[in-house]
A and B are shown apart, each in its own frame.
Chain A
Amino acid sequence: MQHLDIILAMNHISKSFPGVKALDDVSFHVRRGTVHALMGENGAGKSTLMKCLFGIYSLDAGEILFDGKPVHFHNPKDALNAGISMIHQELQPIPYRSISENLWVGRYPSKKILGLFSIVDHKLMRTKSLELLKKVHLKVNPNTALKELSVSQIQSIEIAKAISYESKVIIMDEPTSSLTLQEVEQLFEIINNLRNLGVSIIYISHKMEEILRISDEVTIMRDGKYIGTWQSKELTMDKIIKNMVGRELTNLYPPKTNVPGDVSLQVKDFTSTNHRSFRNVSFDVRKGEILGIGGLVGAQRTELVEGIFGLRAVEKGEISLHGRKLNIKSPRDAIAKGIALVTEDRRGNGIFGVLSVRDNVAVASLSDFVDYHFKLNNRKLNKLAEDNIKKLRIKTPNTKTRISSLSGGNQQKVIISRWLAVEPDVFILDEPTRGIDVGAKYEIYSIMIDLAKQGKTIIMISSEMPELLGVSDRIMVMCEGRLSGILDKEEANQEKIMELATKYM
Chain B
Amino acid sequence: MNKVLNLFKKSDIKTTLIDNAMYVILLTILVVVSILRPVFLSPNNLTNIMMNASIRIIIALGVSGALITRGTDLSAGRIVGVGAVIGGTLLQRPDYAAKFFPELGDMPVVGILLLALTVTALLGLINGLVISFLHVPPFIATLGMQSIVYGLSLIYTKSQPIGGLKTDYTYLASGRIGPVPILIIIALVMMAIMWFLLNQTKFGKYIYAIGGNEAAAEVAGVNVVWTKIRVYVLAGLFYGLAGFLLAAKSGGATANYGIGYELEAIAACTIGGVSTAGGVGTVQGIVSGVLIFEMLKTSLQFLGVTPDLQYVAIGTVIVMAVAIDIRKYLTKK
Footprint of B on A, CB under 8 Å?
17-18, 56-58, 309, 311, 330-332, 334-336, 341, 343, 348-355, 359, 362-364, 366-367, 370, 374-376, 378, 418
Closest Cβ of chain A: how far from B280's Cβ, in Å?
5
**Chain A contacts of B333 at CB under 8 A?**
56-58
A375-B200 in contact (CB<8A): yes
Stretch at the interface among B206-214, B243-251, B255-263, B298-306: B206-214
| Other-chain contact of B209, A309, A335, A350, A363 (Cβ < 8 Å) | A363
In the bound complex, what is the Cα–Cα distance between A140 and B223 (angstroms)? Answer: 38
| Other-chain contact of B219, A311, A355, A362, A374 (Cβ < 8 Å) | A311
A351-B216 in contact (CB<8A): yes
Interface assignment of B30: CB less than 8 Å from any CB of chain A: no
**Chain B contacts of A334 at CB under 8 A?**
221
Q: A17-B332, A349-B218, A355-B212 are in contact. List 4 more A-B contacts (CB 8 A).
A: A332-B221, A349-B219, A353-B212, A366-B205
Closest Cβ of chain B: how far from A95's Cβ, in Å?
13
Closest Cβ of chain A: how far from B221's Cβ, in Å?
4
Proximity bits, B184-216, A CB within 8 Å = 1, else 0: 000000000000100011100110110111011
- Chain B, range 93-121, C-beta contacts under 8 Å to A: none
B202-A343 in contact (CB<8A): no
B212-A352 in contact (CB<8A): yes
What are 7 A-B residue pairs whose CB atoms fall within 8 Å in the complex? Answer: A331-B218, A331-B221, A352-B209, A352-B212, A359-B205, A374-B202, A376-B202
Interface assignment of B5: CB less than 8 Å from any CB of chain A: no
Proximity bits, B218-236, A CB within 8 Å = 1, else 0: 1111110000000000000
**Chain B contacts of A348 at CB under 8 A?**
215-216
Known: A57-B333, A349-B219. A376 touches B279 (CB 8 A): no
B201-A374 in contact (CB<8A): yes
| Other-chain contact of B200, A341, A355, A378 (Cβ < 8 Å) | A378
Chain A residue with minimal CB distance to B212?
A: A352
Footprint of A on B, CB under 8 Å?
196, 200-202, 205-206, 208-209, 211-213, 215-223, 275, 277-280, 332-333
Closest Cβ of chain A: how far from B41's Cβ, in Å?
37
A355-B220 in contact (CB<8A): no
**Chain A contacts of B222 at CB under 8 A?**
332, 363
In the bound complex, what is the Cα–Cα distance between A363 and B224 (angstroms)? Answer: 13
B221-A364 in contact (CB<8A): yes
In the bound complex, what is the Cα–Cα distance between A330 and B225 (angstroms)? Answer: 12
In the bound complex, what is the Cα–Cα distance between A359 and B200 (angstroms)? Answer: 12
In the bound complex, what is the Cα–Cα distance between A374 and B230 (angstroms)? Answer: 15
Closest Cβ of chain B: how far from A415's Cβ, in Å?
9
Q: What are the 9 closest A-B residue pairs judged by CB atoms, nearest first?
A: A352-B212, A349-B215, A335-B221, A354-B279, A364-B220, A366-B202, A332-B221, A349-B216, A363-B220
In the bound complex, what is the Cα–Cα distance between A397 and B221 (angstroms)? Answer: 28
Closest Cβ of chain B: how far from A8's Cβ, in Å?
21
Chain A residue with minimal CB distance to B215?
A: A349
Closest Cβ of chain A: how far from B97's Cβ, in Å?
48
**Chain B contacts of A341 at CB under 8 A?**
219
B202-A354 in contact (CB<8A): no
B221-A352 in contact (CB<8A): no
Known: A349-B215, A370-B202, A374-B201. A355 touches B221 (CB 8 A): no
Interface centre among B200, B201, B219, B277 (most CB of A within 10 A): B219
